[in-house]
Amino acid sequence: MIKVSVNGEVKELEENLNVDQMIEALEYKVKGFAVAVNTTFVPIAKYDKTIIKEGDTIDILAPVQGG
């Protein structure tokens, strides 16, 4: 298992998960979000090739109100 930070909270994940598998493991069911790993945007097309590593910081963002 590895420890990562997801939206500011520490989570444990299995090793060698890609972003698709991470989303499934974290049980994100609702679509319409975007992902950044270590403050770098990961487009959907790169989910399967982006492997999550120990200590990564992950942000999963969705639409909200804004000014």
60 is an interface residue for another protein by CB under 8 A: yes
Q: How far is the CB of 57 from another protein (least distance, A)?
A: 12
Contact 1, 53 (CB under 8 A): no
29 is an interface residue for another protein by CB under 8 A: yes
Give the count of beta carbons closer than 10 Å to the beta carbon of residue 23: 18
Q: How far is the CB of 23 from another protein (least distance, A)?
A: 9
Task: Compute the Cα dihedral for 7, 12, 18, 23 and give only its sign.
Answer: negative
Q: Please give the residue ranges that form the binding site for another protein (CB under 8 A).
A: 7-8, 26-30, 32-36, 39-41, 43-44, 59-67
